[in-house]
Amino acid sequence: MSTNEKLILASGSPRRAELLRQAGLPFEVMIPEIDEAPLPDETPAAFVMRTAREKAESISAAGAVILAADTAVVCEGRILGKPNNKKEAKKMLRSLSDRTHEVMTGVCIRFLDRTDCFHIETEVTFRTLSEKEISDYVASGEPMDKAGAYAIQGGAAKMVRRVAGSYSNVVGLPLCEVVEKLEEL
Ligand SMILES: Cc1cn([C@H]2C[C@H](O)[C@@H](COP(=O)(O)OP(=O)(O)OP(=O)(O)O)O2)c(=O)[nH]c1=O
């Protein structure tokens, strides 16, 4: 990618825009609208890459580089997307308590006739969460638009004992790998 090509972030996530700003790349935002549900028997990695691809393909911007991503929390093989309600958010947080899970972000970059998709995994370990802590956190509203019902960059920072791998991947965009891929284009 040369400095002349326009970069479009195909995402409505303010976290992804903030991360891309941190990388110092100029870009514009376009918001994709797709249905994000796993297919029967789809692996988590295949799911996040397919969803990222569908987001990238739903945007038309001739000659621009289009970047899209999808983040899922995977706990004991189960995909946790965004909770639909508070009850579901609590259930997700209970399942993450005192365990290690993976956060997977699928990334898709489209440029001219080329489409590159990949995914990055980060391991996150939560300490034991009390029922009160879970209720208070859900009542704060923060979990509702986040995969796995938590934000590592927000109130969940104090729940995380260990992160192995890319931190920005957990927030929604693996910056190091995205920048490498954009340079390769
Ligand atoms: C695990 C985790 C997820 N998240 C967020 C990142 C994503 O915005 C969201 C996962 O939902 P996504 O469906 O990946 O993204 P989105 O719907 O917010 O945005 P778009 O589809 O338009 O690109 O969860 C955090 O902000 N912090 C975290 O610690």
Amino acid type, 103:
V
The response to whether residue 102 sits with its C-beta less than 6 Å from ligand 1 reads: no
Smallest CA-to-CA distance from 66 within 4, 9, 16 is with 9
- Asked whether the predicted pLDDT for residue 2 surpasses 90, the reply is no
- Would the pLDDT of 35 be above 70? yes
CATH architecture of 7-184: Alpha-Beta Complex (3.90)
Closest atom of ligand 1 relative to the 32 alpha carbon = 22
> Which two tokens mark 99?
């365990």
Q: How do residues 125-134 score in pLDDT, each as one tens digit?
A: 999 999 999 9
* Beta-bridge partners for 105: 71, 120
- 115, two tokens: 């489409």
The closest-lying atom of ligand 1 relative to the alpha carbon of residue 172 is: 6
Catalytic residue list? 70
Confidence of residue 3 (pLDDT cuts 50, 70, 90): low
pLDDT (mean) for 1-8: 77
The pLDDT value given to residue 77: 93
What pLDDT was estimated at residue 36?
83
SS3 162: strand
